[in-house]
């Protein structure tokens, strides 16, 4: 992994105030992720890490500061352009996987390509690419046409990774994807995730509360190191 002057993710002086009556802001002065870098973001429950992920993905916006992904300031994009940009540039692995239960494995993996022309253009043979991703992730060919709801938790997890990786997005964001796994399964899953990220030259940002995962990443960042809570005036 080579550090460059052009990070895939660059955060500068952001402040976010939760809606409603909570008089607190999340403040992140400086945070970045570089091309092909794997970063583990550690934080306990309530540390603001899920909020920070939402800011990075552009599903919420800071009241101040800049979030740049692949050189684009998310606050400068209209709602429709932001939706398009998110699916083009960011692959997301949700904690609950969020697969379409009645869709096939193939349908789920190819879903981002329906909304992301740039990712679609990088996939010359969608079905074969999906098949190769499944093979690389340890899923047998005969699962491609099965409903996602019939898969085991481990299989669903791998399908979620394949869906996030297809079309080589610039940034892969994973929200506690190993929380339901035992340690040996966690290690195997991380090996698969790192291999796919490296093959696609994709940056990986993974959020977790599990300190044991630290040794597997290029860099470990704690929420307490990059973020603070401020009190607003009511």
Q: Collect all residues with Cβ–Cβ distance below 8 Å to 156 and sequence separation of at least 6.
A: 97, 99, 148
Question: Quick check: is 176 in a domain?
Answer: yes
Nearest to 69 by CA among 82, 60, 56, 78: 56
SS3 string, the chain, reads CCCCCCCCEEEEEEEEECCCCCCEEEEEEEEEECCCCEEEEECCCCCCHHHHHHHHHCCCCCCEEEEEECCEEHHHCCHHHHHHHHHHHEEEECCCCCCCCCCEHHHHHHHHHHCCHHHHHCCCCHHHHHHHHHHHCCCCHHHCCCEHHHCCHHHHHHHHHHHHHCCCCCEEEEECCCCCCCHHHHHHHHHHHHHHHHHCCCEEEEEECCHHHHHHCCEEEEHHHHCEEEECCC
Question: Quick check: is 118 in a domain?
Answer: yes
* pLDDT classification of 186: cutoffs 50, 70, 90: confident
Question: Quick check: is 4 in a domain?
Answer: no
The top-scoring range by mean pLDDT among 39-53, 62-76, 143-157, 184-198 is 62-76
> In this model, does residue 150 exceed pLDDT 70?
yes
**Mean pLDDT rounded to a whole number for the chain:** 89
Question: Quick check: is 61 in a domain?
Answer: no
Task: Convert the pLDDT of each residue in 37-88 to its tens digit.
Answer: 999 999 988 888 889 999 999 999 999 999 999 999 999 999 999 999 999 9
* pLDDT classification of 180: cutoffs 50, 70, 90: low
Q: Collect all residues with Cβ–Cβ distance below 8 Å to 200 and sequence separation of at least 6.
A: 165, 168
Domain that holds residue 105: 34-46+78-222
CATH number for the domain spanning 213: value is 3.40.50.300
Lowest mean pLDDT among 10-14, 147-151, 192-196, 200-204: 192-196
Question: Quick check: is 177 in a domain?
Answer: yes
Question: Quick check: is 123 in a domain?
Answer: yes
2 or 21, which is more confident: 21
> In this model, does residue 3 exceed pLDDT 50?
no
Report yes or no on whether pTM surpasses 0.75.
yes
Under a CB-based contact definition with an 8 Å cutoff, are residues 1 and 210 in contact?
A: no
Question: Quick check: is 29 in a domain?
Answer: no
> In this model, does residue 15 exceed pLDDT 50?
yes
- Please state the rounded mean pLDDT for residues 5-15: 92
Question: Quick check: is 11 in a domain?
Answer: no
Burial class (CB in 10 A: 0-12, 13-18, 19+), 103: middle
Number of domains in the chain: 1
Q: Collect all residues with Cβ–Cβ distance below 8 Å to 44 and sequence separation of at least 6.
A: 209, 223
């Amino acid at each position: 992994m080579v550090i460059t002057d052009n990070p895939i993710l660059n955060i500068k002086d952001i402040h976010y105030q939760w809606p409603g009556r909570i008089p607190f802001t999340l403040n992140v002065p400086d945070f970045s992720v570089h091309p092909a870098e794997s970063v583990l973001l550690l934080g306990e429950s309530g540390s603001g890490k899920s909020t920070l992920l939402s800011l990075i993905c552009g599903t919420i916006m800071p009241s101040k500061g800049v979030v740049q992904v692949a050189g684009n300031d998310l606050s400068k994009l209209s709602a429709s352009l932001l939706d398009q940009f998110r699916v083009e540039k960011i692959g997301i692995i949700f904690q609950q996987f969020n697969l379409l239960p009645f869709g096939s494995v193939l349908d789920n993996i190819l879903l981002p390509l329906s909304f992301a022309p740039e990712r679609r253009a990088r996939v010359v043979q969608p079905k074969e690419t999906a098949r190769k991703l499944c093979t690389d992730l340890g899923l047998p060919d005969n699962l491609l046409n099965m409903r996602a709801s019939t898969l085991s938790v481990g299989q669903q997890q791998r399908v979620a990774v394949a869906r996030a990786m297809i079309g080589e997005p610039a940034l892969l964001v994973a929200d506690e994807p190993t929380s339901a796994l035992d340690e040996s399964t966690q290690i195997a899953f991380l090996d698969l995730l790192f291999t796919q990220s490296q093959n696609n030259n994709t940056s990986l940002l993974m959020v977790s509360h599990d300190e044991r995962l630290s040794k597997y990443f290029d860099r470990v960042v704690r929420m307490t190191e990059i973020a603070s809570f401020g009190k607003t005036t009511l």
